[in-house]
């Protein structure tokens, strides 16, 4: 049986989905965009600010499940402009300094609310 994970420290879902689902050994986190939880607006400041806010949101969801970035085994990153991948990659490395998870990164034509980046993660207990 799965349990819904929800925290006020991350943005509320903008559609019919949960922030994450706890499936026992694995926690599946929905994609997080760089919304500021208190305002529901995209953080200002370009790809660097957006990436940091996105990871803060992911951290809040992971923490609500009793996990952290060390538990992440797979990420999928969506970007609207892969020419900014180097900036994202540098920030990403700060959150996964050792034994980084498997990762896919794809360019998409658009993301919700005009975000530049989104990331979903799978974590293992």
CA–centroid distance for 51 within its chain: 9
- The catalytically annotated residue of 23, 29, 105, 119 is 105
**Would you call 61 helix, strand, or coil by DSSP?**
helix
Active site residue 23: no
Q: How many angstroms separate the CA atoms of 108 and 67, rounded?
A: 29
- Residues assigned a catalytic role: 105
């Amino acid at each position: 049986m799965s349990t819904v994970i929800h925290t006020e420290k991350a943005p509320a879902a903008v559609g019919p989905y949960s922030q994450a689902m706890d499936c026992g050994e694995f926690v599946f986190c929905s994609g997080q965009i760089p919304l500021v939880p208190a305002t529901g607006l995209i953080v200002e400041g370009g790809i660097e600010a957006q990436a940091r806010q996105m990871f803060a949101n992911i951290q809040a969801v992971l923490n609500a499940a009793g996990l952290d970035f060390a538990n992440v085994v797979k990420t999928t990153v969506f970007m609207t402009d892969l020419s900014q991948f180097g900036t994202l990659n540098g920030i990403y490395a700060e959150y996964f300094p050792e034994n980084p998870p498997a990762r896919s990164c794809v360019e998409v034509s658009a993301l919700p609310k005009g975000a530049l980046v989104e990331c979903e993660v799978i974590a293992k207990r």
